[in-house]
Amino acid sequence: MEVLFHFIFQLIKIGVLASIYSFIVIGILLIIGKSKPIEYLKRVKSEKKKYWFSFGFLISIGLFIFSFTYWGNHGLGDGPMIPIGHWETIENINWNEYGYLKGQKTSDGIDIETTKFKVTNDKLSGNLKSSFYEFENSYFVLDLKTDEITEFKTESEFNKYAAKNELPKSNELLSFEDNYRNHCSGIRFLLLP
């Protein structure tokens, strides 16, 4: 049910954004039309409503498609996800505290699960915590470019490595919800679906 409500919200948001962007495009075309009298720009000026609807329709299609791309898809309803770069995403189910990075295995042979993480300089740093498994190590750093994972048994080992490599220390790691909020709020929330 949450997915349906979020999808309907996305459609409404896309419609509002497309209307605003269409209005801006027409405004820009009218300004250009004052300095360069081109036939097409004269038609836009005389039939503003028709072009506002046409541009809005095309922009809404573009925004809808964008919302399902790697960069635009942040999950629907109770399945949020965060794109972290290099075609990797951290996913979550029902807004619980665990983030899942599928396809990236730890030394235990288990997909990465974490409650606190942060991406810096194309490296994902985080703790290893799972609701089902007991990991051998406590922290990890995953190089997103090379898929090379480095694991640490203790917090102090991780913090030494982080300080040496200009990565966030354990106290600077953020929860899934905080990372999601940082990714999807602000200008991105206002300008994109």
> What's the mean pLDDT in 71-79?
89
Q: What is the pLDDT, as a whole number, of residue 40?
A: 87
Q: What is the pLDDT, as a whole number, of residue 71?
A: 92
Task: Give the rounded percent of residues in the chain with a pLDDT score beyond 90.
Answer: 77
d(CA 139, CA 186): 30
pLDDT beyond 90 at 15: yes
Q: Domain limits of the chain?
A: 2-66, 81-187
Q: What is the pLDDT, as a whole number, of residue 57?
A: 97
What does pTM read for this prediction?
Answer: 0.85
Average pLDDT, the chain: 93
pLDDT beyond 90 at 39: no
Q: What is the pLDDT, as a whole number, of residue 166?
A: 96
Q: What is the pLDDT, as a whole number, of residue 7?
A: 94
Q: pLDDT tens, 181-190?
A: 999 888 888 9
Q: What is the pLDDT, as a whole number, of residue 16?
A: 97
